[in-house]
Structure 1
Amino acid sequence: MNLLFAVDDLGARQMLTTIYSIVENTSLEKEKLIVYVLQKQKLQQTALIEGLSAKLGFVYRPVLIDEKLFASAPTTDRYPTTIYYRLLAQEYLPNDLDKILYLDNDLLCINDLKPLYELDLKDYLYAACSHTRLEMVDVLNNVRLGPESGANYYNSGVLLMNLPQIRAEVKAQAIFQYLKENQNNLFLPDQDILNGLYGQKILALPDEYDNYDARKPTIYEAISFGRYDLDWVIKNTRLLHFCGRDKPWKKAYNGRFAGLYKHYHKKCQDLLGR
């Protein structure tokens, strides 16, 4: 099972909590978990990552990205350059790699990830989840991003990637051109580019299973007429996504799943001896 992250040193510890939760809850059997991490220079937290790799038995493979590649891309404190790396990850990953699962570092795996990873992507470039049922902004996004954006607006925090298809169709020049022409309309830059250029070539996944927005449990319960309650989530959801500015590793965070995240984070830190 191949996983992909893109982090800097500030996000490395959170990534380790995500990886720990995956190992704890995924039936790998005799398979190896191989974790590729896109980074613009060798992380100062490398020893920490290698330490967890040795204890959990996953393979850590750092992938260095040319710092100049996205030099002109819009960034903020919330959206550093690393958010763009997933868009061209195929150019840096081994050519014999056919499938990889990209994950943000603010995710928690609470059930077996294997059914998601083994999904048949057919001719789609990616598989991803939309949160538009929760936000009702489809029309605005279609107007803002153009006709190629498709019916849904997909969250880029969980992307199952069909690498042979992506290598054939996703080109750096097209991304840079779209960025140049639309940079004043981009609210979530990498996610907007993904949807604006390739939205019609993304296989829709159910977000209640594979990219549950942890900010909105009440809305999930409402749209499911009470079915997606806490018990259902604990039993069925594979990935909880702590979207937005409030993060569960911060002391003031008090969302419904705060205790669950802190439990996994502590277990991971204990394993590292910290």
Structure 2
Amino acid sequence: MEEQSNRPIDILVTIDQNYIKPLEVMLYSLRLNNLQAKLRVWVIYDKIETTMLKSLENFATKIEIKIEALAMNADFDFPDSLLNLHDYPQEMYFRLLSGKILPKNLHRIIYLDPDILVINSIEPLWQLDLQNKMFAAAVHEGLTDIMSSINNLRLGTNNGYFNSGIMLMDLDQMRQKVNLKDITDAINEHHETLILPDQDILNYLYGDHIMKIPETHWNYDARAYHIYFTRSTGEINLEWIMKNTAILHFCGKPKPWQKENHSKFKTLYLNYQQMASKLIE
């Protein structure tokens, strides 16, 4: 038991250097709302300037988070069909391939997009029993869940359409079941119908291996306050969110650090951003 309690919560992020600053805000919110947790963050990247990586590591040290930076394994030969798909960066595929990249003594990890705020403990997600599933993820259902039906028709699946921005991942299963060839073959076959490439691939190839977790707790879409409020007949209000939601996800564009964003939670994000900036300065 003592050995288990001393183990850190392992977090995975896959970024390019354009998302260093949002990542710092995310990490600050993670630490502030998980004060007692031992946190270790694995950063898988392709091209980040050494000075920016060092700056991130220095910031993380200040908030007592251990950064483990891993350059992408050069053995992965990404095909042009994958890299050119809708101009999305290859970093988005690193999360699916992370079982092949991360050390083999890691058995589970929480993947987090950098465009989130952690506003409560993530310990319950970390301790979740996956019941032999490979992933745990949330579905953004909206008022009628019509988008899941559309995505199921588009991809030929029969599950809800899972969001890949926050996932608990069983790395041992991923090492056995996830490989670049399957991903590449799926992209080549469905190139014209893919909209969000890595998320579509997650659902198309591995939808049957995903446990559904509550979006209002673990992947709250910050754009959709009025949808959650209406669907819950007023129960999921701001007070409920601050008490029960662990992760606010600023899906889509614009982002809360951009001038155009009018999310109900932009002020909260800017507050965390300001506190993180002061710590850096």
Q: Same fold (TM over 0.5)?
A: yes
1:60 corresponds to 2:70 = no
Query: For the Cα contact (< 8 Å) 1:8–1:43, is it kept in 2?
Result: no
Residue 279 of structure 2 corresponds to which residue in structure 1?
271
Q: CA deviation at 1:266?
A: 0.7
1:93 corresponds to 2:102 = yes
CA distance in 2, matches of 1:27, 1:117: 15
Q: CA deviation at 1:252?
A: 2.7
1:226 to 234, 240, 250: 234
RMSD over aligned CA atoms reads 1.5
Query: For the Cα contact (< 8 Å) 1:127–1:205, is it kept in 2?
Result: yes
TM-score scaled to structure 2, two decimals? 0.91
Residue 6 of structure 2 corresponds to which residue in structure 1?
none
TM-score scaled to structure 1, two decimals? 0.93
Residue 115 of structure 1 corresponds to which residue in structure 2?
124
Residue 192 of structure 1 corresponds to which residue in structure 2?
200
Q: CA deviation at 1:248?
A: 0.5
190-199 vs 111-120, which moves further = 111-120
Q: Which amino acid aligns with 1:63?
A: L
1:28 corresponds to 2:36 = yes
Q: Which amino acid aligns with 1:124?
A: K
Map 1:39-54 to 2 at 5 A. Answer: 39-44=45-50, 45-54=52-61
Map 1:217-256 to 2 at 5 A. Answer: 217-256=225-264
Q: How many residue pairs were aligned?
A: 268
Q: Which amino acid aligns with 2:256?
A: P
Change (3 A) 1:101 1:43: farther
CA distance in 1, matches of 2:185, 2:128: 32
Query: For the Cα contact (< 8 Å) 2:256–2:269, is it kept in 1?
Result: yes
CA distance in 1, matches of 2:134, 2:194: 22
Change (3 A) 1:272 1:112: same
CA distance in 1, matches of 2:158, 2:168: 18
Residue 180 of structure 1 corresponds to which residue in structure 2?
188
1:100 aligns to what SS in structure 2? strand
CA distance in 2, matches of 1:269, 1:26: 19
Change (3 A) 1:201 1:150: farther
1:38 to 32, 44, 67: 44
Q: Which amino acid aligns with 2:113?
A: D
Residue 136 of structure 1 corresponds to which residue in structure 2?
146
The gaps in structure 1 that reach 5 residues or longer are none
2:89 to 65, 80, 94: 80
Moved >2 Å (runs of 4+): 41-44, 66-71, 74-77, 132-135
2:192 aligns to what SS in structure 1? helix
Q: Which amino acid aligns with 2:41?
A: V
* Deviations 1:74-95, CA, capped at 9 Å, x for gaps: 3445x32211111101110000
Residue 201 of structure 1 corresponds to which residue in structure 2?
209
Q: CA deviation at 1:49?
A: 0.7
1:145 corresponds to 2:152 = no
